[in-house]
Structure 1
C-alpha cells in the first residue's frame, strides 16, 4: 500500500507519516520546508527507504489514500473524500511551551478544564485513523472528540466519533514535556 500525505512535516503530518512508515507502508509526502522544525522533521523520515519527498502538488502513482493536513482538520481521500475535524490533539513537535500549546490560535494550558475534557494524544488519534482508512463506509464529515467530552450538550452527535484513551492524559503530557525539554530548540511557539 502507498499513501500520499500533503503537509507531511506539519507536526500532525509528521506523526501520520511516521506511523505509516512504522506499519511498513510506503509514503509519498509533500511540504514546503519553511521552518526549522519542518527541516528537523524532514531529516527524521527522509532517509527511510519507504518515504519519498515530492514537490508540492506532484503525484506520481495510485495511492491507497491521500491525506491532507491542516491545523484543525484532515482531508482523507480514498474512494471518496472524508473531512475529519480534529479534536484538541496534542503530541510531540506541536507548537508549545512547558505549560501548554497552541491550538487554532488559542493557548491551551495542560492543567485547564478544556484540556482535560477535550484533549487526545496524537498516538491515540493515529490508532483510530488507521481503522478509518481500512473502513469502506465513512460519513463525508467526521467530528472527532475525546470520550471525556461525550456529555457536551453543544455537540452534533450525528457525525461525532469518540476516542477513549488507553492511558491517563497526565502520562502523555509527561512524555510530551520530556520530549519538549530534550528538543526545545527545535520547537516553535506558534
Structure 2
C-alpha cells in the first residue's frame, strides 16, 4: 500500500504516519515549511526506509498512491477524478463548499494525544469525553482496511460510557479504551519524557 500524507508532521499527521509505517505501508510525507517542533518529528521518523519526505505536493506522483490523507484542507492536486481514496482530517467541520466532492471528511474536535500543542491540550481538558489519538487512528485504519470510507462529513466524538461504535446524526460515536484521566495521565508522562519538545 502506498499513501501520501499532507501535513505529516502536524501532531495528528505524525500519529497517522507512524501507523502507516507500522502497517508496512510506503509513505510519502508532505509538509511545507516545518516549524522547530515539526522538524523534531521529522528527525524522529525520517530515517525509516519506507518513508519519503517531500516539501511540496507538486513533487508527488499521484497515480502511484492508494490513499491521500490530508491534515487540514487538502491541496487541489490531491483532488483528482478519483475522490474515493482521499481523507481529510480537521479540528471542526467547515462548510467550505467542498462537501459535494465526495471524499471522506473527519472532524476531531475533542482529539488528544502526545505531541499536541499544550494550549490546545489545556482547552480540551474541559471536555466531557475526549478521544484518544490511538483509538481514532485505529478506527481510521479499520475503515481503510474494510473499505468503509464515509462519504458525508462527520464529527468524531467520544462517549463517556462503554458502547459500540455507531454513526448518528452526522457524528461517529467512538468507543473509548481509556477514561479521560487515563488519557491525560499518559500525556503527562509523555511530556516528562520529551520536555524539550514541548518547550520548543
Task: Provide the TM-score with structure 1 as the length reference.
Answer: 0.79
Gaps of 5+ in 2: 73-89, 94-100
Is the 2:3–2:27 contact (alpha carbons within 8 Å) kept by the matching residues of 1? yes
1:52 Cα offset (Å):
0.5
Residue matched to 2:120:
102
Is the 1:118–1:149 contact (alpha carbons within 8 Å) kept by the matching residues of 2? no
1:9 Cα offset (Å):
0.2
Which deviations, in whole Å up to 9, do the C-alpha atoms of 1:128-181 show, x marking residues without a partner?
11012232452321211112399xxxxx93221111111222222111111112
Residue matched to 2:107:
85
Task: Provide the TM-score with structure 2 as the length reference.
Answer: 0.75
Please give the residue correspondences for 1:19-168 in structure 2 after superposition, counting only pairs within 5 Å: 19-57=19-57, 58-60=59-61, 61-70=63-72, 71-72=90-91, 80-96=102-118, 101-102=119-120, 107-108=122-123, 110=125, 112=126, 114=127, 117-134=128-145, 135-148=147-160, 157-168=168-179
In structure 2, C-alpha distance between the alignment counterparts of 1:158 and 1:139, rounded to whole Å: 14
In structure 2, C-alpha distance between the alignment counterparts of 1:128 and 1:87, rounded to whole Å: 16
In structure 1, C-alpha distance between the alignment counterparts of 2:44 and 2:109, rounded to whole Å: 26
Gaps of 5+ in 1: 151-155
Is the 1:87–1:146 contact (alpha carbons within 8 Å) kept by the matching residues of 2? no
In structure 2, C-alpha distance between the alignment counterparts of 1:187 and 1:10, rounded to whole Å: 14
Change (3 A) 1:185 1:137: closer
1:13 Cα offset (Å):
0.2
Is the 1:3–1:64 contact (alpha carbons within 8 Å) kept by the matching residues of 2? yes
Runs of 4+ in structure 1 off by over 2 angstroms are: 134-137
Choose between structure 1 and 2 for higher RCO, CA contacts under 8 A separated by at least 6 residues. Answer: 1
Change (3 A) 1:55 1:182: same
- Which of the two has greater strand per residue? 1
In structure 1, C-alpha distance between the alignment counterparts of 2:50 and 2:92, rounded to whole Å: 25
Instruction: Report the aligned-residue RMSD.
Output: 2.6
Change (3 A) 1:188 1:131: farther
